[in-house]
Structure 1
Amino acid sequence: MSLEKYKVTSTINLKDLPTKEVDEDAKKALKKIRKKISDVQNAMYAEGKYGLLICLQGMDTSGKDSLIREVFKDVNASGVVVHSFKVPTELELKHDFMWRHYIALPAKGKIGIFNRTHYENVLVTRVHPNYILGENIPSIKSVDDLDDAFYHNRMERINQFENHLATNGTIVLKFYLNLSKDEQKRRLLRRLNIQEKNWKFSDADLKERKLWDKYMFCYEDLLNRTSKENAPWFVIPADDKPTARLILANILLEELEKYNFTEPSLSPKLLAQIDDFKAQLNKE
């Protein structure tokens, strides 16, 4: 599997990128990758120098929740923390737009997953600019003040934020699940047709679907402006869930293996005493 093709390294047009790839052995292959990811996370934790932030973005029904469940199910539960960012609370709105994300960052040795991320602040708020007014920004009097320059400035603040994280030992990997509009329709109908899935449906899903083209414009703009070498975006074909999970898992493992995490060795003093420690325990 060639993984470099998913990485955003130059200007992209989402219409030119595939939304579907199918690997018939994806489920079987993922099981092997999961174990390797778990081993790497254990070594990362033991070494204690790096943390990992995984950012997941995608349209409704793109498969973010199930991807998290399937890709990370073999990783030590205490080593993974998932944050799903919803509408900002009253307290969060009293701080700058990055505050709630900063305080949720993973500690060194752990994997933090942002299911919807700080990019909502240049995505949903760009599609629905009236949301920005709730932030009470002194320079913003009305939605008429929210031009492209405002959102591009925010994107640059995000680039600086991620550069700061990378400099201080947080590995930042960002994944956009590239779902087709036809596949979203199929998945929404499935939620309506299967009673056990009804709870997942919201009429808001249909309202947002009508804004599909605007979302695609905003996604394309942020992908092109915020994919950096120390915090790259990867565009994952998402119409086939098992394959999407395998692609992401392969990218994740390949990126983490670049760091050659190693468990710390015992001090020479303790190493010299290992036989004595064994003898003490065997005498009990």
Structure 2
Amino acid sequence: MQIEKPVKSVSDTFTSTDNIGEALTQVALKEVNVDREPARYILKAIIAGFLLAIMAVFSLAVKTQFEGASHGLVNILGAIAFSIALVMIVMTRAELLTSNFMYLTVGLYYRTISMSKVAKIFIYCFIGNIIGGFILFGMMTGTKVMTPEMVTALTKTVSAKTIESTWLAIMIKAIFANFFINIGIFIAMQCKEALAKAFFIAIGVVIFVFMAYEHVVYNTGLFAGMMYYNPAAISWIDILKNVVFAFIGNFIGGGIFVGLVYAYLNGHRDDIVKAK
């Protein structure tokens, strides 16, 4: 029996074409949303920041209430608790800056969106995410949810991320954080079942939180909490250092290491009609 040699073309090696197509669809939707309904777009970003902040509070509660248990166990429980945030954000189609790094870099590679539009979306999204964190912690001040132990844990976490960290360490850890987050989202895009999507979205978050990597939106939520609960412990220059280099690192991790790499692996720029 003679076996024929399979005939394949270069396009057969483009294993994530459907993902790239979905990413470009998301880019087009974001561009239309920002251009025609900017207030609604910012509201979506506020929802994402709000969800991220409320799950940060949940994570702090888990860590403090399990105090005395194994340090590793406490950290993994806190990471799992926080991972719910990204699942909710993706499933509700809220707008999170760090996932936009991946989507919009794909759009830039295929020239379906301009750099000026990308910058506009980044600014609107980041502002909305920050507002969401402030709203959440502002509402928390009217409750007793944030216990003294949680405030202490918050202060310790923020100090480690700002005063005790160098700009290089922040940037490298930010690269790792958004790499894992966006790899999780990229894999989830291939899943049809909601449970499978949720699992792969969550797993990247569990890794970044457990390893104490840097996520610029999560960090700004923590900084908002500090402004309400322990402003005297804030070092503004160190907060600025963290925001700037976490932003850069997150863009590299999600935009370059995931978005650009997989866009390049799935065809040439001219394979997509150039946006006008």
TM-score normalised according to structure 2 size? 0.28
Point out the structure with the larger helix share.
2
Q: Which has the higher contact order (CA 8 A, sep 6+)?
A: 1
> Larger % of strand: which?
1
